Structure 1
Amino acid sequence: MFRRFLTLCLVCLVVFWFLNPIGILSLAVYAQELSPRVRVKDLAVVEGARSNQLTGMGLVVGLPGTGDRTGMATRMIRNMAEQYGLSLGTREIRSRNIAAVSVVCNLPPFTNPGQTVDVLVSTLGDAKSLEGGVLLQTPLKAANGGVYAVAQGPVTVGGFTAEGMAARVAKNVTTTGRIAGGAIVERDVPMGYASDSKLTLLLRQPDFTTAHRLASSINEKFGRIALPIDAGRVEVAFPPAYAQYPASFVASLEQLEIRPDTVARVVINERTGTVVLGGNVKISAVAVSHGNLTVAVAEAPEAVQPEPFAGGRTAVVPRTEVVVEEQRGRVVSMKASASVEDLVDALNSIGATPRDTITILQAINDAGALHGELVVM
């Protein structure tokens, strides 16, 4: 009996395939497009393998008269000169070619002494531009006060400034610059990412479903060694074969692919008119009507002259003209469980601009028909 039922199901499937071969493929392709497979490397990081922030204060020299006017840079260069056995008075330093700056960088995990990292240089005083300047040797310290890198080199800015007596032209920001490979690492930071033969993966976007899928994928590959702790952490034990090779095991974990789950979310930026809609957003049955109302007010005062020999004075009579124009709107009906594509097509059909779309989405959310998180930036 079971064999007959199985045979009948196979025959029906084959018949459906010949009648509509694209239907099955389209469903599969749609599912893959909706939720692509992503590497674990792009979804999670290993707990303990983290960057460290370094900061310092230094001097940029060689500026073409665009340096500080305040005394901060003067005092800093005087202190630096004393380290070289030079005694300079405040009046002897009148240069606009120097600027006091802040130097910051991120020390990536597993960076060894001798390697270089990029640094970001920003003015501390009233310097107008760092273009053409060179950063003098600046120690970079961590939060514990230890020096982990030393920065030095020419500063590269992403703009320019030019000014005269009565005009000034500027493009982009010239008070902030970068030095590619400008800091040499002097000390490494120990990274303890594996303890008690276990490690923890931290999801970049915490989600219970994604954490469960990640643990299931690891268990299918290496056996039952992974356990989701919460929405953002998955604890993984080292298999016996990788007990002595933790780096190789982490590399194998990073290459696994899973389908992450995301929260249905609509992100709106009212300042720029940007609207981003997630693929999981659903719309209940709702009717949308949107029209543009334009009100123009024009003032045209008129001078009124008195009659001859009437002894009157000329008066100005205000005349206001108000023009109200309302464009005819269209009503679009959205069916239940409408997708983002249906919503976009409906909004385009009524000629909604991005800013109109923001207003419409907020109204749909207030009506309780938007099933997803609405984020307004």
Structure 2
Amino acid sequence: MIAILLFLTSTIFAQTIKDISNVVGIRDNQLIGYGLVVGLAGTGDKSQFTMQSLQNLLRNSYIKIPTSSIKSKNIAAVMVTSKLPAFSRQGDKIKIKVSAIGDAKSIDHGQLLLTQLKGVDGNVYALAQGTIIADLNNLTTGFIYDGATIENEVDYDLKDESMITLSLKTSSAKHAFAIENKINKRFGKKLAIAEDTRTINVKKPKDMSMVKFLSIVQNIKLDDSFKKKIIIDINREMIIAGADITIDPVTISRDNFTIRVKKSPLSEEEWNDNAKNRGVDIGDDVKIGNKPIVNIDNALINTKSAPTVSDLMRAMKIMKLPITDIIETIKLIKDLGSIDAEVEIRGQ
């Protein structure tokens, strides 16, 4: 049972340049490695490659044993993935994700043995090790927070740069032109030029460091015409959305629930009378302000104005739906084009 399904906030996201763009050349790098998990209480796997990996490990310790004699189910072969953040330094800690690749039933509380994490260039950038905390919804995957230590760095040289290039996450001539104007207005001179619908080149003033300049540029606020953002944090089981992100009419039918989102043709008084006739509680638990928004009978969400993501999440919370269903529903509505907002998934 999830004690807190989600976190709701009515605060509207103040979009900034860094929310809708990246700085070219500054990015995370993907890391991957193959490792062994030990200490499982009979929930590991007996795949041939797992036994072979254990044999190789023991051989490195000068212990020779044929794979046919290894019958333990307390070990599991896993793939380890992570992200190497930009400007990471030796000794920094990063979170890793561990996923079983054999027929293990659970890797929860298993001990990941020392595992090399490599980049696409084949070089080792981090070493991972630690105790796994499995995902409650999928015991064959889990995380180790601060589970890897960075050993090698990716060089980024900003100090001597005289220009940065911004790349919009979504191509838009309107947004590129607006960002050009916002930056030029902020510094009182023509520093930014939109090269195309996605790329903006920005010159650094001579009397300012690149770090300070980048900080100012990335935190310039944008107006409400820019796309809003919904943040889903899987690890913390939180969903954060602005209060004014509307949902176009949509119907979603799944195995355990059906949701219909639409505008109500009824007045508030008519809606209340209709709800009372069906025995639906219209108290504070199913209201936002003075506006009735939920008909629990058929998972129907009715609003006098356009329904919002906040309305939907509150309704699903009242329905006591698990956080996984709420997350999948929001992602599905986004894929259907009924939400005009960026959905950011954290913790995957």
- TM-score by length of structure 1 reads 0.58
Aligned-pair CA distance for 1:131: 1.6
Paired position in structure 2 for 1:41: 18
Paired position in structure 2 for 1:149: 126
Letter in 2 for 1:253: V
Aligned-pair CA distance for 1:262: 4.7
Letter in 2 for 1:200: T
Paired position in structure 2 for 1:133: 110
Letter in 2 for 1:184: T
Give % identity.
32
Structure 1 contact 218–225 (Cα < 8 Å) conserved: yes
Paired position in structure 2 for 1:217: 182
Paired position in structure 1 for 2:196: 230
Asked if residue 207 in structure 1 is aligned to residue 172 in structure 2, the reply is: yes
- TM-score by length of structure 2 reads 0.62
Asked if residue 80 in structure 1 is aligned to residue 57 in structure 2, the reply is: yes
| Cα RMSD, aligned residues only | 3.2
Change in Cα spacing, 1:146 to 1:95, as seen in structure 2 (3 Å) is same
Aligned-pair CA distance for 1:37: 4.8
Letter in 2 for 1:259: D
Aligned-pair CA distance for 1:38: 2.2
- Cα distance in 1 for residues equivalent to 2:253 and 2:207: 55
Paired position in structure 1 for 2:218: 254
Structure 1 stretch displaced more, 121-130 or 204-213: 204-213
Aligned residues: 243
Letter in 1 for 2:130: G
Aligned-pair CA distance for 1:115: 0.3
Aligned-pair CA distance for 1:376: 7.3
Structure 1 contact 193–199 (Cα < 8 Å) conserved: no
Letter in 1 for 2:78: V
Structure 1 contact 104–121 (Cα < 8 Å) conserved: yes
Q: Secondary structure at the match of 1:221?
A: helix
Structure 1 stretch displaced more, 172-181 or 191-200: 191-200
Deviating above 4 A after TM superposition, structure 1's stretches of 4 or more consecutive aligned residues are: 192-196, 262-269, 271-277, 340-345
Letter in 1 for 2:195: I
Asked if residue 189 in structure 1 is aligned to residue 154 in structure 2, the reply is: yes
Aligned-pair CA distance for 1:228: 1.1
Asked if residue 178 in structure 1 is aligned to residue 143 in structure 2, the reply is: yes
Q: Secondary structure at the match of 2:31?
A: strand
Aligned-pair CA distance for 1:50: 0.5
Structure 1 contact 268–375 (Cα < 8 Å) conserved: no
Decide which of 98, 102, 117 is 1:121's aligned counterpart. Answer: 98
- Cα distance in 1 for residues equivalent to 2:152 and 2:306: 55
- Cα distance in 2 for residues equivalent to 1:106 and 1:150: 12
Aligned-pair CA distance for 1:85: 1.5
1:233-279 CA distances to partner (integer Å, 9 max, x unpaired)?
2110111112xx111110111221121535899585745566789xx
- Cα distance in 1 for residues equivalent to 2:213 and 2:110: 46
Asked if residue 239 in structure 1 is aligned to residue 201 in structure 2, the reply is: no
Letter in 2 for 1:175: T
- Cα distance in 2 for residues equivalent to 1:221 and 1:343: 35
Paired position in structure 2 for 1:375: 337
**Structure with the greater alpha carbon radius of gyration:** 1
Higher relative contact order (CA 8 A, sep 6+): 2
- Cα distance in 1 for residues equivalent to 2:41 and 2:193: 61
Aligned-pair CA distance for 1:189: 0.8
Letter in 2 for 1:58: G
Aligned-pair CA distance for 1:45: 2.1
- Cα distance in 1 for residues equivalent to 2:18 and 2:249: 26
Gaps of at least 5 residues in structure 2 are 1-9, 228-245, 263-302, 309-314, 317-334, 340-348
Gaps of at least 5 residues in structure 1 are 1-32, 160-171, 278-339, 346-352, 355-372
Q: Secondary structure at the match of 2:102?
A: coil
Q: Secondary structure at the match of 2:19?
A: helix
- Cα distance in 2 for residues equivalent to 1:239 and 1:274: 53
Change in Cα spacing, 1:104 to 1:269, as seen in structure 2 (3 Å) is farther
Structure 2 contact 158–210 (Cα < 8 Å) conserved: no
